[in-house]
Structure 1
Amino acid sequence: MTISSTGIIQVLNKPSPDLLTTWYAEQVVKGKIIAGKDVVLACKRHLKDLKRQGTDDFPWVFDGEKGHRPIRFIEKYCKPSKGNYKQLILQGWQHFVIGSIFGWVHKDTELRRFREGLIFVARKQGKTTVISGASIYGVSKDGENGADIPLLANSMKQARLLFDEAKAMVKASPNLKKRFRSLRDAIHFDKTFSKIEPQASDSEKLDGLNTHIAIFDEIHEYKDYKLINVIKNSRGSRDQPLLIYITTAGYQLDGPLVDYYEQGLDVLNEVYPDERTFYYLASLDDEKEFDQPEMWIKANPNLGVSIKLEDMVEEWEKAKRVPAERNDFITKRFNFFVKANEQSFLDYETIKKNNKVIDLETLKGAQCIGGFDLSDSEDFTSACLEFPLDTGEVFVLSHTWIPEKKVIADNENIPYREYAKDGLLTIIPGEYVKKEYIHDWFVEKSKEYAIELITYDPAKAFGLVKSLESYGFKTEVVRQGALTLGPAVDDVKELFIDGKVIFNYKQPGSEEPTKNDLFRWYINNVKIKPDSNRNNLPQKQGKYRKIDGFAAFLNSHTEVMKRMVEPKGSGTVGFISISDL
């Protein structure tokens, strides 16, 4: 096996087909096949698991023949509907993906190990063709009666792309055509009463599914878990259900894809174990590789097969001159997360840098600044405490309240219950958030921390401010204009860029840290709108993209930033520690 100067793989002396899954993993780990660091980790995981076979704590074995069966079926019967191809020949990375998903089984039951798989690759890798073929195999050769295989997407138009490819494959093959019954909206395999159907989040038949294998296409477009949860709940009666998510990167940075991607990084880096999910995460490793065509194969493992390198180079040279086209190319062709849109406050990589966890026990008695944003009483209300740390970092302890009526209406697809379970949000009985809840939160926190000052937007705040002042808190109004908020926005952004904003924490006595996904969601929803004097003012990106937690944080930071940089006795400027406050 050699690799050309263009990064295209030339394979020589390949092993027998049933060994190709492991062969690919070995070549990647040895550096003989160029791959991104996360694919290298996936291959190391496979090789490590091979060595774990037969041990008491690892009930799984790799059956190369089982892994190769769907590949053999696809190559024999499934012809791509587009392009001048006489036969579909799967590449090494596809052997690794399909072979791993179908080849790892329980040592006693021989049922599949992996219940879910995330395949994260750039566009034009032939994923639609391969996954369509896998669905035809799954509905007919997987030994299951009454197996439903939904092909899913955020819209029916996208779902039908997979379905129409599968239907075209059946039509093009005399052998498949004899065994399958293709209709406009379903492909039936009558022998086992099984079928393949396109489904979308707005489909009416979702609740009646009995899912055996589900294929989710382009989950970067999903804003919530509604469709995914329906499918997960439909697989209870299956012996070896399988959910496959196949997607490129996208702009929806607070949706399921980013959650699953980060979970995958944790699993591959052995932060926590998950033996039942397969990950293949193919992307460029660094922005420096944008102008290194020999590295593009990391995100495009089909380079030289379904994509010509010279065409891709030409397209990049053109796209990088136009900001909107450049971002789209980076996202879809380099499979690299970029800003949600041109006005986003922060990009994915910047938000990800701020992932530290602080032990709340270490902050007992520490001084801090409070902030709150009341918004409408029928909507989100948020408050926070911001702690300046002697490291130059800040810690934000954030909480939100929401009326139960809004949760029951659930017209925004926001995971209120999950946030409440994690202690990030309180669901208030009734139709609105009573100000007493915010008052009581500050009172409770004042028993643990020294709240020096509470900042606020004066809109709708009169009663709560009087209540807080009556208790003994000092308060400070924050005028919501460019002169006040503009400098705080700029300072907060610099802190995020430097990875100095901490919002995850560990409760006293708790084993697991609390990841404040609600606060991260607020941050991701912020866009910046400069005024006529180029002062940056925060706005939310859309009607349902809430930023209340960020607004509360920004209020507190108008005061914290003053305390973090103060003149010393010599007249120089420097950071001060909590003990200096």
Structure 2
Amino acid sequence: MISYKYIDEYIKLWRDGKIILNKRRKKLIELIERDILTADDMYFDEEQIENYITFTEKYYFPLTLTQKFKTCFIFLYYNDGSLVFDEHLDYEGRGGGKTGRISTLANYFISDLHGIDNYNVSVVANSEKQAKMSFTEVYNTIDKDNTLKEHFVNKKALIESGSTKSVFQYHTSNASTKDGLRDGCVIFEEVHRYEDSGVVNVFTSGLGKVSNPRVFYVGSDGFVREGFLDKLLERADNILDGHVSIRDDGLFAFMCNLDDEAEMHNPDMWQKANSQFHPPLTNYAKTLFKTVMKQYNKLEHDPDGYEEFITKRMNLPKVDLEKSVTSWEKIKATDQSYNLDELKKRECIGCLDYAAVRDFVAMGLLFLKDDNFIVPKELTHSYVCKPFADKHYAYSKEKAENNNKKDHRKFAPIKEWENGGLLSVLDIETMDPHLVVKWFVDKRDEGWNIKKIVGDNFKMDILKPLFEATGFEVEVIRNPDAASGLLAPRIEIAFENEQVIFGDNPLMRWYTNNVLVKRLPNGNKVYRKKEEVKRKTDGFMMFLYGVWGSRDLDDTDVDGVLDFLDSIAF
């Protein structure tokens, strides 16, 4: 039988109901009590545990009980001197102190207190900024303490122990250039961003050349699914569920997360996802808690932040990363009134989506008024090629041929929308770009003040010269996906706050309801179609490009400015 005081205290707090643990940490305690505390061939190295705690609290910061609990298993050995756990997963919500902890571990591992010569430590992250965070923290700590300066040599990209000759350095995850490292420990930051195990395999290939090699996987969850982290979590769950023995797989899996999405609405449950929130809260934890609470309170008016909050703060990833751009209720809320006479006093953006030449093209004028994006029903129009409308929407058929078949006219009532003046079906095989340009010229001739024309780069090589020949300024969006990523939060908030106004326009409602929001591995959102052929999104993309161009619009009446100028005696 073995044990250690920090482990006993941690388990007792949980059993006494003073802290709340998630299911995975409860399983971890069961594993510890079943397979470790009853073992007769393991021991905790008290000297190493206490040396690390003393070193950290003297030069860095006080450790929480949770951090002391985890430390015990870093220095847990079999009687033959080998590590019980040579890999450690620190999976916890953002703000859990993970980066600060690995800074102290890196500094300790290269020190003479750890006592292993040439025990090099590397921290690896996707970005140089993240990779340098721990290195910079260690560098600055040594730089401001004369005692540490006597033991360590600070260099620009390397920190070296004077006694053990161990070094600490950082790397970005460029797996092609890091073969041959002779590390004792590798720390992987931001593991949620690894799409596969390639980076990990390269950086761990040099382990085993010094005693007690260790690997740390650190991070909260993210938006890469079926990547390295998901496979690591599956491996960890197999250990916690007892399907794999720790004697066969030496991964210490410390995982903090909500057990259910509904728990995010109960702040008492947040400690399941972040051990810093176990009472009593430190000063750091109190500040962090206030920050998280502010973010939570903003979710009511910031729907785009919901996925980020529950995935990163609560460590419970939203598996369904594809969804509608907004709810149907909010789409219906675009049916708001506006005053065309007032809008005529304002500048507007001419926007269009001309993605394909054989089906749809959408055009419109977008106005900015009182932070509302207005695309009036009377100032938007679509052209549709008749062969496409016949094939996919039964445009020319008077009635459905078979009542048991889906009536595509109900799915997209093209003729009804045409009769309402929302679109024109053209008996042509391919779209004529001159018709598109003429629509905007006609609107300008009607007195609408079009500041510029905005569209994506597809077909703009044809359209741009035609527009410019008629006197329009043209802005081309070279990378629509990048624009989508930048605009997605603004657009989602606008829909949520009912600041998108189309009037009673069923065609724009249809376009918008057909949009699929897809989350990319980097966290950015892009707009796709829910169904590639029949569910068109041209009108929504036209609106998106108008929002992009709206940054150049003043939220004022042109006539009002002119009246003001006229009143000034120059």
1:337 paired residue number: 317
* Mapped partners of 1:540, 1:221: distance in 2: 13
* Mapped partners of 1:128, 1:157: distance in 2: 12
TM superposition score normalised by structure 2: 0.54
Structure 1 alignment gaps of length 5 or more:
1-16, 80-87, 346-480, 487-529, 544-553, 555-581
1:91 maps to amino acid: T
* Mapped partners of 2:119, 2:260: distance in 1: 42
- Check 1:30–1:344 CA distance in 2 against 1; reply closer, same or farther (3 A cut): farther
> How big is the shift at 1:21?
2.9
- Check 1:281–1:533 CA distance in 2 against 1; reply closer, same or farther (3 A cut): closer
Contact kept, 8 Å, 1:50 with 1:61, in 2: the verdict is: no
> How big is the shift at 1:60?
2.6
Q: Report 1:250-265 matches (<5 A).
A: 250-265=222-237
Contact kept, 8 Å, 1:25 with 1:96, in 2: the verdict is: no
1:35 matched to 2:8: no
CA displacement, residues 207-238 of structure 1 (integer Å, 9 cap, x when unaligned): 13111011111111111212100122110323
* Mapped partners of 1:283, 1:224: distance in 2: 22
2:123 maps to amino acid: L
1:92 matched to 2:65: yes
The DSSP-based 3-state class of the residue aligned with 2:276 is coil
**Which of 202, 206, 213 pairs up with 2:185?**
213
1:280 maps to amino acid: F
**Which of 216, 225, 228 pairs up with 2:200?**
228
The DSSP-based 3-state class of the residue aligned with 1:96 is helix
- Check 1:536–1:325 CA distance in 2 against 1; reply closer, same or farther (3 A cut): closer
1:142 paired residue number: 114
The DSSP-based 3-state class of the residue aligned with 2:305 is helix
Q: Report 1:113-262 matches (<5 A).
A: 113-140=84-111, 141-202=113-174, 206-262=178-234
% identical equivalent positions: 27
CA RMSD of aligned residues (A): 3.5
1:273 matched to 2:229: no
**Which of 257, 272, 281 pairs up with 1:298?**
272
* Mapped partners of 2:242, 2:20: distance in 1: 22
CA displacement, residues 522-545 of structure 1 (integer Å, 9 cap, x when unaligned): xxxxxxxx98495688999699xx
Contact kept, 8 Å, 1:145 with 1:193, in 2: the verdict is: yes
* Mapped partners of 2:270, 2:315: distance in 1: 10
* Mapped partners of 2:63, 2:238: distance in 1: 29
2:62 maps to amino acid: I
The DSSP-based 3-state class of the residue aligned with 1:192 is coil
Contact kept, 8 Å, 1:29 with 1:40, in 2: the verdict is: no
**Which of 302, 317, 322 pairs up with 2:297?**
317
> How big is the shift at 1:318?
0.9
Contact kept, 8 Å, 1:71 with 1:99, in 2: the verdict is: no
**Which of 286, 296, 307 pairs up with 1:327?**
307
Contact kept, 8 Å, 1:18 with 1:67, in 2: the verdict is: no
- Check 1:31–1:536 CA distance in 2 against 1; reply closer, same or farther (3 A cut): same
Contact kept, 8 Å, 2:128 with 2:171, in 1: the verdict is: yes
- Is the radius of gyration larger for structure 1 or structure 2? 2
Contact kept, 8 Å, 2:123 with 2:170, in 1: the verdict is: yes
CA displacement, residues 404-453 of structure 1 (integer Å, 9 cap, x when unaligned): xxxxxxxxxxxxxxxxxxxxxxxxxxxxxxxxxxxxxxxxxxxxxxxxxx
Contact kept, 8 Å, 1:18 with 1:65, in 2: the verdict is: no
Contact kept, 8 Å, 2:323 with 2:517, in 1: the verdict is: no
Contact kept, 8 Å, 1:482 with 1:535, in 2: the verdict is: no
The DSSP-based 3-state class of the residue aligned with 2:29 is helix
Contact kept, 8 Å, 1:42 with 1:268, in 2: the verdict is: yes
1:49 matched to 2:31: no
Alignment size in residue pairs: 338
TM superposition score normalised by structure 1: 0.53
* Mapped partners of 1:301, 1:71: distance in 2: 18
The DSSP-based 3-state class of the residue aligned with 1:302 is helix
Contact kept, 8 Å, 1:121 with 1:335, in 2: the verdict is: yes
Structure 2 alignment gaps of length 5 or more:
326-405, 412-508, 523-531, 533-570
CA displacement, residues 472-499 of structure 1 (integer Å, 9 cap, x when unaligned): xxxxxxxxx998xx9xxxxxxxxxxxxx
CA displacement, residues 314-371 of structure 1 (integer Å, 9 cap, x when unaligned): 32111343221121111121111114745499xxxxxxxxxxxxxxxxxxxxxxxxxx
2:207 maps to amino acid: R
Contact kept, 8 Å, 2:296 with 2:309, in 1: the verdict is: yes
